[in-house]
């Protein structure tokens, strides 16, 4: 039995909002991931089946690796199709904000949305959402926004409109936001939702392989390099750090998404329960963190790296040099574990260099 966790009042308000409009825009956070794209596209598809004119607009491009999600190519991308995005927003009578909790997570698209006099609906699973939404469905315990979109369909009696196309989109978010059913999916209802999605008979194995097991040769080589040469381990702190500079990324023809799952890898080592990845971007250092158990990386990202996220998967932006970001990581180690001296274990090539007289 899948319980109705969304307050009935909220569901009723959402139903009457949807009933009262025709044109609907749905958006999600910048650098959209499988959950952001899957949830927006599934909702868009079902709203269209309800007879609405619905569009997905995103702040920036989806990574190439996620182009397989049904409907991605029809998305209006602000950095690429600005006129179309403006047009959709001018015409919109209702706005859905999916998989983000604060307007700054949608970059310049936020400035366009701010003055709009239309109702805003939040469906999200990040902590501490902004107070700018008229209807707020915010459930940090949920595995993914796709789970919440499913629950909205269920509680609104819309599941009969969830066809294989919508189900494929939801599957991608349920899969990727749990790291392939590895974390954030301890609630048995998660699998009941999966079962209901699976009954729509899409090609699950192909989607799984495209979402979880598809990398370019460059990406695989970059990940191999990062693992063998750049992973610093701090077993006494349970920590791992990977730092990649722009120059290193360029050496492997980096394109967005190539390092997507890299930060998870060090957690395979039994002593390591939190992992930090610093990637030098054009104008900032992108910070990405993962952890296991009660250790909260969202607290670390909020306190030190202008970010946030979930307890076990969080991120942020550092405005400064890569060296400064790395120094800040060492400060975090010192702050969290003042009594443990910092003794990183060396990578194989560093060990070799040390042994060479």
Q: Which residues bind ligand 5GP (CB under 6 A)?
A: 126, 288, 307-310, 313-317
CB 125 → ligand 5GP: shortest distance, Å? Answer: 9
Burial per residue of 138-147, b for 16 or more beta-carbon CB atoms within 10 angstroms, e otherwise: bbeebbbbbb
CB 281 → ligand 5GP: shortest distance, Å? Answer: 11
Asked if 31 and 106 touch (Cβ cutoff 8 Å), the reply is no
* Measured distance between the N- and C-terminal CA atoms of the chain, rounded to whole angstroms: 67
Q: Which residue is nearest to Mn ion (CB)?
A: 35
Nearer to ligand 5GP by Cβ, of 110 and 308: the residue is 308
Nearer to ligand 5GP by Cβ, of 238 and 315: the residue is 315
CB 319 → ligand 5GP: shortest distance, Å? Answer: 11
Q: Does 177 bind Mn ion (CB under 5 A)?
A: yes
Long-range contacts of 220-225 (CB under 8 A, 24+ apart): 221/252, 222/248, 222/249, 222/252, 222/254, 222/258, 222/259, 223/258, 223/259, 223/262, 223/265, 225/252
With DSSP H G I counted as helix, E B as strand and the rest as coil, what are the percentages for the chain, rounded to 5? Answer: 45, 15, 40
| Per-residue binding letters, 82-121, with Mn ion (x by CB under 5 A) | -----------------x----------------------
- Ranges within 133-152 binding Mn ion (CB under 5 A): 145
Asked if 57 and 76 touch (Cβ cutoff 8 Å), the reply is yes
User: Residue 88 to residues 25, 55, 58, 140: CA-CA distances in angstroms?
Assistant: 7, 7, 12, 30
Nearer to ligand 5GP by Cβ, of 278 and 313: the residue is 313
| Per-residue binding letters, 25-54, with Mn ion (x by CB under 5 A) | ----------x-------------------
Q: Which of Mn ion, ligand 5GP, none interacts with 126 (beta carbon under 5 to 8 A by kind)?
A: ligand 5GP
CB 102 → ligand 5GP: shortest distance, Å? Answer: 7
Nearer to ligand 5GP by Cβ, of 140 and 235: the residue is 140
CB 340 → ligand 5GP: shortest distance, Å? Answer: 25
**274 contacts: CB under 8 Å, gap ≥ 6:** 238, 239, 240, 267, 289, 290, 291, 292, 295, 297
Q: How far is CA 331 from the centre of its chain?
A: 27
Nearer to Mn ion by Cβ, of 58 and 240: the residue is 58
CB 333 → Mn ion: shortest distance, Å? Answer: 28
CB 267 → ligand 5GP: shortest distance, Å? Answer: 13
Nearer to ligand 5GP by Cβ, of 124 and 344: the residue is 124
Q: Which residue is nearest to ligand 5GP (CB)?
A: 315
- How many residues touch Mn ion under the rule CB under 5 A: the total is 4
Asked if 223 and 277 touch (Cβ cutoff 8 Å), the reply is no
CA distance 263 to 22: 42
Asked if 244 and 279 touch (Cβ cutoff 8 Å), the reply is yes
Nearer to ligand 5GP by Cβ, of 266 and 308: the residue is 308
Asked if 292 and 273 touch (Cβ cutoff 8 Å), the reply is yes
- Number of separate helices (H) and strands (E) present in the chain: 13, 12
CB 278 → ligand 5GP: shortest distance, Å? Answer: 11
Interface ranges with Mn ion (CB under 5 A): 35, 99, 145, 177
């Amino acid at each position: 039995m899948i319980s109705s966790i969304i307050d009935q009042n909220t569901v009723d308000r959402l139903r009457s909002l949807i009933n009262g409009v025709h044109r609907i825009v749905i958006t999600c956070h910048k650098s959209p991931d499988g959950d952001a794209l899957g949830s927006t596209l599934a909702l868009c598809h079902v709203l269209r089946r309800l007879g609405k004119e619905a569009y997905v607009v995103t702040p920036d491009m989806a990574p190439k690796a996620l182009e397989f999600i049904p409907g991605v190519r029809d998305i209006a991308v602000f950095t690429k199709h600005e006129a179309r995005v403006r047009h959709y927003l001018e015409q919109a009578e209702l706005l859905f904000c999916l998989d983000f909790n604060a307007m700054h997570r949608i970059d310049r698209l936020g400035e366009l949305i701010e003055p709009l006099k239309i109702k805003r609906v939040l469906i999200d699973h990040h902590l501490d959402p902004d107070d700018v939404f008229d209807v707020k469905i915010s459930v940090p315990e949920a595995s993914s926004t796709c789970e919440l979109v499913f629950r909205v369909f269920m509680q609104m009696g819309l599941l009969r409109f969830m066809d294989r196309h919508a189900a494929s989109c939801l599957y991608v978010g349920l899969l990727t936001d749990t790291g392939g059913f590895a974390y954030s999916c301890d609630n048995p209802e998660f699998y009941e939702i999966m079962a209901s999605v699976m009954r729509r008979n899409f090609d699950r194995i192909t989607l799984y392989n495209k979402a979880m097991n598809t990398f370019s040769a460059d990406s695989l080589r970059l990940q191999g390099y990062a693992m063998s040469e750049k992973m610093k381990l701090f077993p006494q702190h349970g920590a791992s750090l990977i730092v990649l500079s722009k120059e290193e990324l360029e050496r492997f023809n980096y394109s967005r998404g190539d390092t997507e799952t890299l930060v998870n890898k060090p957690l395979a080592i039994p002593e390591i329960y939190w992992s930090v990845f610093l990637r030098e971007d054009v104008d900032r250092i992108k910070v990405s963190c993962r952890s296991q158990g009660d250790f909260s990386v969202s607290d670390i990202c909020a306190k030190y790296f202008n970010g946030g996220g979930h307890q076990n998967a969080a991120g942020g932006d550092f405005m400064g040099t890569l060296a400064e970001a790395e120094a800040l990581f060492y400060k975090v180690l010192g702050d969290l574990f003042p009594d443990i001296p910092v003794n990183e274990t060396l990578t194989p090539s560093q060990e070799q260099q040390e042994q060479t007289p």
